[in-house]
Chains A and B, each alone.
Chain A
Amino acid sequence: MNQVSTVIRKEWEDAMRNKTVLSVVIVVPLVMTALPIAMLFVMGRAPVAAGDLEEMGRLLSNPIFAGMNSIEAMQSSIASFMMILFLMMPLMVPVTIAAYSIVGEKVSRSLEPLLATPISTTRLLVAKGLAAAIPGIVMAWICYALFLIFARFLSASDRVFAFFVDPMWLIAMFILAPLLTVMAVNVGIIVSSRTSDPRSAEQLGSLVVLPLLVLIFGPMVGLIMLNSTTFWICSVVVALVDAGLIYLGVALFQRETILTRWK
């Protein structure tokens, strides 16, 4: 376990000195948090336009907005779309850290001396994975908490605030988000094994956020409805994908494979 914490500490120390990684780990999540807060603020004050009334009607027919007036429904619905951004953080942050952590080692050729140490491949993989995953999850939770603090004051009513701590969002943040992180870490490893430039790895890896667009645009076009069931289904699907990706990631992250096949 000491070796794992040693690697994690080194990874974070290295990441903290990398401005690109630092901006993705800290700045981007904060911007992503500011967006739903800003939407809450604006929706709480902007008068509802006549053209929006029809949309309101559609929204209000969604059972999760039952009992809300138009401002409450507007705040809840817009902010909830924005809250999907919290699920992007566990994807973007780990992919970036993993890309720089692994491809960075390939570029600086520090992987070989590292692999020559007695640390087992499993421990090294776990350490690299945790070093990438923990900041992603923690940032997502911090930003969610930050959002809740602002939402407490900006929500039009307690019913709106209650919407943001609905079991649906708790499932999203505490079950789906960690599963997404596992997916991101493995995508980061897989992509890293095939690229020799951290930026390319980061860009390729960031494609992992694409499936999330279904959760953003799906409700808009009536394809899916955001509720607990949706997030449970998403969690099961992501867990299955994770299983496949872990298998592939472990197969790729072997000493001999890294040294002889990673180019």
Chain B
Amino acid sequence: MIRTQELSKHFRGNGSPVKAVDGLNLEVNEGEVFGFLGPNGAGKTTTVRLLTCLIAPTSGRAWVNNLEVGRADPQIRAQVGILTESPGLYERLSARRNLEFFAELYGVKDAKGQTEKYLRLLELWDRREAEANTLSKGMKQKLAIARALLHEPPVLFLDEPTSALDPEAAKTVRDFIETLRGQGRTIFLCTHNLDEAEHLCDRIAVFRQRLIAMDTPEALRRQLFGRQTVVDLARFDDRFADAVRSLPFVKHVEAVQGDEEAGKLVISLDDPPAQNPRIVLTLVDQGAQIQFVNELRHSLEDVYLSLIHNGDSGPGEHPHDWGQGAAQ
């Protein structure tokens, strides 16, 4: 649905060119919610602008819905919806007129009907005649989302859709994105909100001028940190850790003694569901009193920060290799 091949965009700075996007290779599948993560100034907005044909690449190629950027720009623009970082509404016009205007520009046949549909869907119908400048931030954002959807685009670019929204408004927007996923649209989501990415995205890419890593959040987690089982023990003893270390499939054991007698073992494994029973048996044989057995689940924030910080020293040849490398 979206594919880039060594896509680059360099801007003329003071003297030397500034690389905003450098050799980006990615592929976003049809119907996927794809998270595009990166720090401020990473080039996320530039990437969105490239893919929506707002700016031209310096080099490389890109395809959106099988149409090549630079060769079929008007067609691509007609097939993508974009939610820019700020809602960018016509403040003196009513909510209804804001949508009707864009519906007409996109050539929607029933502009009025489509406007009504999305005003109702986003619960803005009662405020349809209100000037945009009288709407709350959340309402403006919803109106901007409606604007991006008026022409029923198969591909949607959402740039920071919940930034600057209060938690309730952000949840409304997130819920709406969930419903869009159900409609089979491809969604390219730029966000700083890692919980949002974790919750909404099928796959994520971590990006800073270059692609650092790209996979499902779970796969990146595994690549970076492996799979780890945590065993909470009522009474800690070093021989429990030694017994687990002696098992051939155990990769690494970290023993953590608590304030009193209790402690825990953090065990790195390849296949916890298959290997956990052996570990439990071994510990029980040694007389350990097991309180809990859980899988250690690193947050997406851990994954992101690890990738970004390791990414400072330069990405590897393949994004996956880089993630794997960082995990070792």
Contact = CB atoms under 8 A, between A and B. Distances in A.
A225 interface: no
A10 interface: yes
A16 to B, nearest CB: 9
Contact of B89 (A17, A108, A120, A259): A108
B78 A10 contact: no
B256 interface: no
Interface string A1-18: 011001100100110011
A114 B49 CA distance: 13
A222 interface: no
Interface in A183-215: none
A255 B54 contact: yes
B86 A109 contact: yes
Nearest to A119: B105
Nearest to A111: B88
Interface in B44-88: 49, 52, 54-56, 74-75, 77-78, 80, 82, 84-88
Contact of B55 (A17, A18, A114, A259): A259
B125 interface: no
A113 interface: yes
Interface stretch (B90-98, B211-219, B268-276): B90-98
Interface string B132-149: 000000000000100110
Interface in A104-121: 108-120
B176 interface: no
Nearest to A108: B91
A10 B102 CA distance: 10
A110 B77 contact: no
A71 B106 CA distance: 61
B54 A113 contact: no
B104 interface: yes
5 contacts: A6-B105, A17-B92, A113-B148, A116-B84, A119-B105
Given A10-B93, A259-B55, 17 more contacts: A3-B105, A6-B101, A6-B104, A7-B105, A14-B92, A17-B92, A17-B93, A110-B88, A110-B89, A112-B54, A112-B82, A117-B105, A117-B106, A118-B75, A118-B106, A119-B105, A120-B74
Interface of B: 11, 49, 52, 54-56, 74-75, 77-78, 80, 82, 84-93, 97, 101-102, 104-107, 131, 144, 147-148
Which 10 residue pairs are nearest across A and B when measured between Cβ atoms? A17-B92, A110-B88, A109-B88, A118-B78, A6-B104, A117-B105, A256-B55, A118-B77, A116-B82, A109-B86
